[in-house]
Amino acid sequence: MIAPLLERLGLPRLAEAQIAEIGFAGALAGLALFGGWLVRRYLGPRLSDWLDGRDLPGQGPLANRAPPFFGWLSALLLVATARGLHAWDPYAALLLDCVVAFAAAATVRNLVVGVGVGRGPALVAAAVTFVALLSHSMGGLTSLQHRLDAIGFTIGRFHFSLLAAVHILLTLLILFLLVRIGNRVVHRLVRGNGARELDATQQLLIEKIAGVVILVAAFFIGIDLLGIDLTAFAVFSGALGLAVGFGLQKTFGNLIAGIILLMDRSIKPGDVVVIADSVGRVNKIGVRAVSVITRDGMEHLVPNELMMTERVENWSYSNREVRVRIKVGVSYDADLHLAQKLMIEAAAAAPRVLTDPAPVCWITGFGNSSVDHELRFWIRDPESGLGNIKGHVFMGIWDRFKEAGIELPYPQRDLHLRSLSPEALDAIGAARDEKAPAPQDAERAPDNGG
């Protein structure tokens, strides 16, 4: 029963196996695996730190999977080198091929998990890699390809089979992994220690342009690997381009607008802008929209085109200093010079108020019940809020006015009564008498008929 199976696999009888050579191949495979373990144990953490970048939190699974990935990759290279250096006995070659397939599957699994695809797809990719390499070493991959190619259908000159589906899936998976790895490498290079001379806006711009270039390159590489002939679509290319142009007009417009915003640096991550009468901080500039987070915790997604075509208040475009105005009314009986001094002191005592420029206070008008003042002061962190700093200054003014006896006036109204002539007073009295009810008898008259 075993002999026919060995014959189908192209292996000699067990009695003809070279036991010494098999043992030597096993020893080499063990040494290769031990070398991979050493790389994982000692060199892996350093590579993990390099990928993680201590100034770049959030690299995530890629840095965590660096030690096992490089460990299995080292073992794979060592075993593959040992496999190719000698014409091994078939059983020894089969042993080394099994170790190569297993090491390659483990390498692929750690790579797929590291780029954030997921554990399920990683297991599938590892299983496909193991079966493909082991089948190839045993000479059964060609037969498997023929069988997969036979399962399909043909339409005209187009033939689609299960082999083509597997080819497409593997190509898409490989390209997806390459795109993710390329973006991670660009992110590491742009935001690493060697690019500190670039500000946050320039780093984001380089990342977005590199991401578009990598995606376009992956698209054309995939077209070439799949063998798709684009000349077959030449007749429909004009209509397709027109349809895509109209359908994705806003999308491409927002994409170009986002790149322009990053290039001219009119809107940058971290800027304080006014959106819908609310002050917010620019969180990020995406492909389609700009994310603005207000002090209320609400996140506004503003299309990039609107940030370019509409009027936008950017409080930190060229300078982060913002002037705050507070209106205060003082009684006419108060000492205005003392009141202005106390208001300036209250503003200067606030922790977020700048001393240069210093706070100032001016009379803005004489109102009906108070002398109107406006207190003006500067802050450098408008993203921390305006209401809290105004409340702090108002409370300081209240405390100082109470200590100094300065009154915050209530609304007042003066009524002026003009004297009337005697004829007008008599007319008013007669009108009042006519409107008054007739007096009622105190006692009812007795009934004489009773």
18 touches 92 (CB < 8 A): yes
Residue 71 in domain? yes
Is there a single domain that holds both residue 87 and residue 180?
yes
Is there a single domain that holds both residue 28 and residue 16?
yes
**Residue 390's domain is classified under what CATH number?**
3.30.70.100
Residue 438 in domain? no
Is there a single domain that holds both residue 373 and residue 256?
no
Rounded to 5 degrees, what angle do the CA atoms 193, 198, 204 make? 100
Is there a single domain that holds both residue 124 and residue 150?
yes
Burial status of residue 350 (CB atoms within 10 A of its CB: 0-12, 13-18, 19 or more): buried
Query: How much is the average pLDDT of 126-154?
Result: 69
At 93, is the secondary structure helix, strand, or coil? Answer: helix
Q: What per-residue confidence (pLDDT) applies to 144?
A: 59
Burial status of residue 42 (CB atoms within 10 A of its CB: 0-12, 13-18, 19 or more): exposed
Give the torsion sign (CA, 233, 235, 236, 241). positive
Is there a single domain that holds both residue 6 and residue 142?
yes
Residue by residue, DSSP assigns 20-78 as: HHHHHHHHHHHHHHHHHHHIIIIIHHHHHHHHH-TTSTT-THHHHTHHHHHHHHHHHHH
Is there a single domain that holds both residue 110 and residue 208?
yes
Residue 144 in domain? yes
Among the residue ranges 134-143, 288-297, 420-429, the one predicted with the least confidence is 134-143
Provide the residue range defining the domain that includes 148. Answer: 2-217
Q: What per-residue confidence (pLDDT) applies to 341?
A: 92
Residue by residue, DSSP assigns 260-316 as: HHHHHTSS-TT-EEEETTEEEEEEEE-SSEEEEEETTS-EEEEEHHHHHHS--EETT
pLDDT above 70 covers a percentage of the chain that reads 72
Q: How far lies 430's CA from each of 2, 267, 422, in Å?
A: 136, 78, 12
Is there a single domain that holds both residue 308 and residue 347?
no
One-letter amino acid at 220 equals: F
Q: Is pLDDT larger for residue 271 or for residue 276?
A: 271
Q: Is pLDDT larger for residue 146 or for residue 361?
A: 361
Q: Is pLDDT larger for residue 343 or for residue 278?
A: 343
Q: Is pLDDT larger for residue 175 or for residue 57?
A: 175
Query: Of 153, 186, 217, at which residue does a domain stop?
Result: 217
348 touches 358 (CB < 8 A): yes
Is there a single domain that holds both residue 348 and residue 369?
yes
Q: Is pLDDT larger for residue 82 or for residue 148?
A: 82
Residue 28 in domain? yes
One-letter amino acid at 319 equals: N
Q: Is pLDDT larger for residue 106 or for residue 90?
A: 106
Residue 224 in domain? no
382 touches 272 (CB < 8 A): yes
Q: For residue 155, how many other CB atoms are within 10 A of its CB? A: 7
Query: How much is the average pLDDT of 20-44?
Result: 83
Q: What per-residue confidence (pLDDT) applies to 444?
A: 46
Query: Of 318, 353, 368, at which residue does a domain stop?
Result: 318
**Residue 246's domain is classified under what CATH number?**
2.30.30.60
Among the residue ranges 58-72, 178-192, 200-214, 350-364, the one predicted with the least confidence is 58-72
pTM of the model: 0.44
Residue 309 in domain? yes
Is there a single domain that holds both residue 112 and residue 29?
yes
Query: How much is the average pLDDT of 284-312?
Result: 80
Residue 213 in domain? yes
Mean pLDDT (the chain) is 75
Query: How much is the average pLDDT of 9-23?
Result: 63
Distance CA 436, CA 423 (A): 20
Is there a single domain that holds both residue 291 and residue 358?
no
pLDDT above 90 (res 257):
no
How many domains is the chain partitioned into structurally? Answer: 3
Is there a single domain that holds both residue 74 and residue 204?
yes
Residue 223 in domain? no
Query: How much is the average pLDDT of 297-325?
Result: 80
Give the torsion sign (CA, 146, 150, 152, 158). positive
